[in-house]
Amino acid sequence: MESEKVTIAAGVPTIWMGVLEELDGRDFSSLRAIPCGGSAVPKSLSEGYKNKIGLPILQAWGMTETSPLAAIAHVKSAEANLDGENPKLICELR
C-alpha cells in the first residue's frame, strides 16, 4: 500500500488485524478510506487505526452480487454499538 500510494483499501477484520501490526514506521498518508466487511469490526480494531494513522475503519456490508459493497457506515462515536445488529439505513435490508 505504501509504495503504490493506495487511497482506498478494503478487507475483512482478520486482514486489518494483521496490517495494524505493520503500520509503525510506514507512510500511509495516501490512504483515505478503509472499508471493512465480512463481520462486525471490533471496536478495538477501529480505534487502533484511528490512533495510529488518524483514520477509522468503515463498517461495510455487501455481497458478490452488489460488486461487492452495498453499504458503508462511518461510526461517529467510539462508544457506538459495533455489533452489526442495529443498522441505521436510508434503504431497506432484506
Q: Domain residues of the chain, as ranges?
A: 1-94
Residues 6+ apart with CB under 8 A from 12: 36, 37, 38, 39
Q: Which of 5-14, 32-41, 76-85 has the lowest average pLDDT?
A: 76-85
Would you place residue 1 in the very low, low, confident or very high pLDDT band (cuts 50, 70, 90)? confident
Give the residue from 64, 7, 57 showing the smallest Cα distance to 34: 57
Q: What is the rounded average pLDDT of the residues 12-40?
A: 91
> What pLDDT digit, counting tens, does each position of 43-58 carry?
999 999 999 999 988 8
Q: Determine the average pLDDT of the residues in 20-41.
A: 90
Give 75's pLDDT tier (boundaries 50, 70, 90). Answer: low
Provide the pLDDT for residue 37.
86
CATH tag for 1-94 (out of 1.10.150.20, 3.40.50.980, 3.40.430.10, 3.30.70.60) = 3.40.50.980
Residue 77 has pLDDT above 70, yes or no: no
Per-chain mean pLDDT for the chain: 80
